[in-house]
Chains A and B, each alone.
Chain A
């Protein structure tokens, strides 16, 4: 039983981290209409900054720089590339983002080489045990912080004028601009938020039990794509729930791999996509997605 609970706690905390990444995908998509395939390398940039800076300036200062750097990178990608696209075509923007991802990843790979940079977090390789459930301290901190971040996001979108303006711009940009809402501002804010969330997720994905920052970290952002899609593409709540589902399912598939041996090895990598496809078969617009069919 405690083995099951441990796997579950692992899955939930991993799911919350995936949720942070998936929410970034959602916010960029709703605020600028871009499928941000460069999200993974933005995440890696944030984690890389923390890894190289924690020694000279201290971990917490490095975290601030990492988050700010990833946010700034997002804003720059939006301002320099996305906003200057001649035709605002989602397909073109998505391909452009793939190109950006390759460029950033190449540069970061050149800098990191085949090293694995330690993230230098104070929780190191500690574990916490509570009632027979054992969890790496990094994961426990991640879970608490993610919940706090989601609470702040709720406050932003539901309680502040700028957050409501962001939702209005996401719902109908043309009309929102008639209200005096500047789409350039809401777009920039969306990219900044997404970058910051990615950096936070990156720090925890590079913490124990992972060895540290390596180029492969960028790929881990793609694990959040099934969470994003099954949550419904344009729903923040959906992305969080999607992250939790994918996190738990992945953790259980890995934890019980020996019992699930007849399905072959490496099930954990396949299972998120299988879950995504199953959900989409039943609900084509995702769990929380806006339904395509409107009142005729």
Chain B
């Protein structure tokens, strides 16, 4: 048997000499194959890719044992640039395109190591054939592309060197179902053109569809390996990563564990109120992001906002949270007109939010980030805290206990002492959610709360949201692409496309709406 194209042997990686992200991981990618790596957040998937592409240094990681052999060569002691020249290119998590460079310039940067101008032109042509939309937008700045187009640009940029092995880190992150399917097709095409692929994917259904073999990584060790078909058939994988439970609303809701016992209590008698969005229009320069959108979130209900990338969902959340100004239209929360208030006054109404691109203090610990969220409900004055009066100390103890309960509920209690920058994307999402909850909101705005999570993790998140909704009686408005999650949790769903409302109803109604199938869900959901 010929040597595999990539072989990782007994790899151990540490961060800052303390956190062990990988422990004795072995894995191989045969030439001409697609290999998927599945695993929960914090399992070490991104670390594995960075170790392979020799780019651990910039994030403070170090290989302490084991080897990475690529194409018959030991890559240790080489830098990322040497790995690229050897034919191994990584597409980073979150796309990371150069926003101020044009599409063409992004590709040019990707093909930097290709010295031969003719080869570079041929590679550009191939990328444009694979992604015709990029050819159309070649002179546009990367930052103006939609999420799906940015993912295509990130992949195209990596293909400019005509690599032997392409490393993909969560290519479907934050993409609408229809686009996820398209990205899967593209990976198959890239493979068919002779490039091997090592793929990290939270969307296990897509990952297992395109891969020949798969590995499951759990807390830094390989727990399962096998052909995709074998793995897809095992119960454990089906439960934790695939979520075979059909998105049948009633069934899922009844199955939810009764009162996940969060024991959260409000320190104020605030109550959730009705949120009314009426005829909301938002324009940026010449672009209309939202036009005449109306919907109502009933007090104490869970409402979902879905739609393709660039449909205006995040814009809507940003107006509700006060980050953007409405061009016209109104938003009322109870009696208060949200559209005329600055962000901090909106927070005082009991509205808390999370961000799509996560906005946390990276150097601070998880606990401190959550405590920041308590700011709104803390009582003692700064002077009392500075003097450490008994009252202030009592309050601090109580606050820490409250924060711990929230962390327990979200499954991040073991991470409380860790600095946020050491956490994986999905764990940061949970910390952000925790910070929003810590402020005891009556209305919670969640922007892609389960992006980058496995099916099992998003089920935990759904339980947590149900528990806080029940115990604190709060309303939730969420934007999310994970359909099983949305369909199992939301009572009503509003669908946006190109800034307009195209459907609204119960999850069941929306799922059958032909317009929604066409614009958003695609054939996979039919």
A178 touches B98 (CB 8 A): no
B55 touches A177 (CB 8 A): yes
Q: Which residues of A contact B58 (CB under 8 A)?
A: 173-174, 177
**A146 smallest CB distance to B (angstroms):** 25
Inter-chain CA distance A290–B143, complex, in Å, is 13
Q: Which residues of A contact B100 (CB under 8 A)?
A: 167, 171, 290
Q: Mark B71-106, 1 if CB is under 8 A from A, else 0.
A: 000000001110111000110100010111100011
Q: What band does the interface of chain B fall in when counting residues whose beta carbon is under 8 Å from A?
A: 35 or more
A and B contact pairs by CB, cutoff 8 A, 24 listed: A161-B108, A164-B101, A164-B105, A164-B109, A168-B98, A168-B105, A168-B106, A171-B100, A174-B96, A176-B98, A177-B79, A177-B80, A178-B89, A179-B89, A179-B158, A179-B161, A180-B80, A180-B83, A180-B113, A181-B81, A181-B112, A182-B79, A296-B324, A296-B356
Q: Which residues of A contact B111 (CB under 8 A)?
A: 161
Inter-chain CA distance A177–B54, complex, in Å, is 10
Return the contact of B92 from the options A165, A171, A175, A290 (Cβ within 8 A): A175
| CB nearest to B323 among chain A residues | A296
B318 within 8 A of A: yes
**A33 smallest CB distance to B (angstroms):** 13
B98 touches A174 (CB 8 A): no
B99 touches A296 (CB 8 A): no
Q: Mark A159-196, 1 if CB is under 8 A from B, else 0.
A: 00100110110011111111111100000000000000
Return the contact of A178 from the options B84, B99, B108, B324 (Cβ within 8 A): B84
**B448 smallest CB distance to A (angstroms):** 12
| CB nearest to B107 among chain A residues | A164
Inter-chain CA distance A275–B81, complex, in Å, is 44
Inter-chain CA distance A175–B157, complex, in Å, is 11
Q: Mark A262-296, 1 if CB is under 8 A from B, else 0.
A: 00000000000000000000000000001000111
Q: What band does the interface of chain A fall in when counting residues whose beta carbon is under 8 Å from B?
A: 20 to 34
A167 touches B105 (CB 8 A): yes
A168 touches B79 (CB 8 A): no
Count of CB-CB pairs between chains A and B under 8 Å: 85
B359 within 8 A of A: yes
Inter-chain CA distance A145–B459, complex, in Å, is 65
Q: Which of B90, B101, B105, B359 has the most CB of A within 10 A?
A: B105
A178 touches B80 (CB 8 A): yes
Return the contact of A164 from the options B83, B108, B324 (Cβ within 8 A): B108
Q: Which residues of B contact A180 (CB under 8 A)?
A: 80-81, 83-85, 89, 112-113, 161
Q: Mark B99-131, 1 if CB is under 8 A from A, else 0.
A: 111000110111111000000000000000000
B161 touches A171 (CB 8 A): no
Inter-chain CA distance A164–B108, complex, in Å, is 7
Inter-chain CA distance A290–B55, complex, in Å, is 27
A171 touches B99 (CB 8 A): yes
| CB nearest to A177 among chain B residues | B80
Which B residues fall within an 8 A CB radius of A?
Answer: 53, 55, 58-59, 79-81, 83-85, 89-90, 92, 96, 98-101, 105-106, 108-113, 157-158, 161, 314, 318, 323-324, 355-357, 359
**B368 smallest CB distance to A (angstroms):** 21
Known pairs A179-B109, A180-B113, A181-B109; list 12 more (Cβ under 8 Å).
A164-B101, A164-B112, A167-B98, A167-B101, A168-B101, A168-B109, A174-B96, A175-B96, A176-B109, A179-B89, A179-B158, A294-B357
| CB nearest to A176 among chain B residues | B109
Q: Which residues of A contact B318 (CB under 8 A)?
A: 296
B109 touches A174 (CB 8 A): no
Inter-chain CA distance A168–B81, complex, in Å, is 14
Q: Which residues of B contact A172 (CB under 8 A)?
A: 96, 98
Dominant SS among interface residues on chain A: helix
Q: Which residues of B contact A161 (CB under 8 A)?
A: 108, 111-112
Q: Which residues of B contact A177 (CB under 8 A)?
A: 55, 58, 79-81
A178 touches B113 (CB 8 A): no
Return the contact of B112 from the options A179, A290, A294, A295 (Cβ within 8 A): A179
A178 touches B55 (CB 8 A): yes
Which 9 pairs of residues, A with B, have the shortest CB-CB distance? Answer: A180-B84, A168-B109, A180-B113, A175-B96, A177-B80, A180-B81, A171-B98, A164-B108, A296-B323
Q: Which residues of A contact B79 (CB under 8 A)?
A: 177, 182
Inter-chain CA distance A22–B113, complex, in Å, is 31
Q: Mark A54-84, 1 if CB is under 8 A from B, else 0.
A: 0000000000000000000000000000000
Inter-chain CA distance A172–B95, complex, in Å, is 12
A175 touches B98 (CB 8 A): yes
Inter-chain CA distance A180–B89, complex, in Å, is 8
Q: Which residues of B contact A174 (CB under 8 A)?
A: 55, 58-59, 92, 96
Inter-chain CA distance A174–B61, complex, in Å, is 14
Inter-chain CA distance A164–B98, complex, in Å, is 11
Inter-chain CA distance A168–B355, complex, in Å, is 26
A179 touches B359 (CB 8 A): no
A179 touches B101 (CB 8 A): no
Given contacts A171-B101, A174-B55, are A165 and B357 in contact (CB under 8 A)?
Answer: no
Q: Which residues of B contact A168 (CB under 8 A)?
A: 98, 101, 105-106, 109, 112
A178 touches B109 (CB 8 A): no
Q: Which of A164, A172, A179, A294 has the most CB of B within 10 A?
A: A179
Inter-chain CA distance A177–B89, complex, in Å, is 10
| CB nearest to B167 among chain A residues | A178
Given contacts A296-B323, A296-B357, are A178 and B92 in contact (CB under 8 A)?
Answer: yes
**B81 smallest CB distance to A (angstroms):** 5
**A242 smallest CB distance to B (angstroms):** 19
Inter-chain CA distance A24–B99, complex, in Å, is 23
**B215 smallest CB distance to A (angstroms):** 22
**A173 smallest CB distance to B (angstroms):** 8
| CB nearest to B50 among chain A residues | A178
Inter-chain CA distance A168–B55, complex, in Å, is 17
A296 touches B359 (CB 8 A): yes
Q: Which residues of A contact B106 (CB under 8 A)?
A: 168
Inter-chain CA distance A22–B37, complex, in Å, is 48
**B56 smallest CB distance to A (angstroms):** 11
**B178 smallest CB distance to A (angstroms):** 22
Inter-chain CA distance A255–B161, complex, in Å, is 57
Return the contact of A165 from the options B112, B158, B359 (Cβ within 8 A): B112
Inter-chain CA distance A167–B141, complex, in Å, is 13
Q: Mark A127-138, 1 if CB is under 8 A from B, else 0.
A: 000000000000
Inter-chain CA distance A178–B89, complex, in Å, is 7
| CB nearest to A157 among chain B residues | B105
Q: Which residues of A contact B101 (CB under 8 A)?
A: 164, 167-168, 171
Q: Which residues of B contact A182 (CB under 8 A)?
A: 79, 81
Inter-chain CA distance A8–B337, complex, in Å, is 53
